[in-house]
Amino acid sequence: MKYQTYEEIIKNNREWASEKLSIEPSYFETLSRGQKPPFLFIGCSDSRMALDTITKTEPGELFIHRNIANQISLTDMNLLSVLEYAIGHLKVKHIIVCGHYCCGGVTAALEGNAEGLVESWLMPIRELYRKNKKELDEIEGLKKRSDKLSEMNVILQVKNLCKTSVMRKVFKGKDYPKIHAWVIDIYIGRIKELKIPVSEFKERELLPKDYKY
């Protein structure tokens, strides 16, 4: 893969802006008036997850929070602030929790070779592996085991999302966002929608009784 230079990136920006204006002269004037995205995307920081390319979305359509291995922590003030703003101010209609195959963070947690702050950050995934060790170890090949753990991690983070004070509050009303669990299949470039265990989450009072998937 050929990586672009800093100068090329600046040049590309100029070309992109000019192209947009040639098609729609008022494009940036309209864009500057504010945002009302219908989607909050919580995903991984991996540079290969080019969301606008993968989803063919335009600026203003996705409100985004990203971190290593798409973690949702109940004590992460950054994420909680994003979540609160997205729901309370932007009125997003969908929240997407998204992981991906070939995730370096998940693989590091699986192998137990992360160090420093990253090791602490990935500890919930390491614990998830330990909890499901028998099932995962029966899968042949590190890549396949890691990809399965990536799927498990997304569902765990959806569970954590439902536990946040922000979601607990909004679930008391009738107008709350739909939650989606995605994995990007990096081998073929497609979105894989994962099934959220809605019935189980309702029984545990993580989702409202009237929640429809």
Domains and CATH numbers, the chain: 1-33 (no CATH), 36-203 (3.40.1050.10)
Q: Any idea which residue has 């009784």 for tokens? A: 209
Q: Which residues are catalytic?
A: 44, 46, 48, 100, 103
- Say whether pLDDT at 135 is over 80: yes
118: which residues sit within 8 A by CB, 6+ positions away? 68, 105, 108
Q: Give yes or no for a contact between 187 and 101, defined as CB atoms under 8 angstroms apart.
A: yes
Give this prediction's pTM: 0.95
- Which pLDDT tens digit goes with each residue over 187-197? 999 999 999 99
- Say whether pLDDT at 213 is over 80: no
Q: Give yes or no for a contact between 70 and 97, defined as CB atoms under 8 angstroms apart.
A: yes
Angle (CA) 38-42-48 rounded to 5° is 110
Please give the distance of CA 97 from its chain centroid, rounded to a whole number: 4
Per-residue pLDDT averaged across 125-147, rounded? 97
- Which pLDDT tens digit goes with each residue over 107-124? 999 999 999 999 999 999
Confidence of residue 174 (pLDDT cuts 50, 70, 90): confident
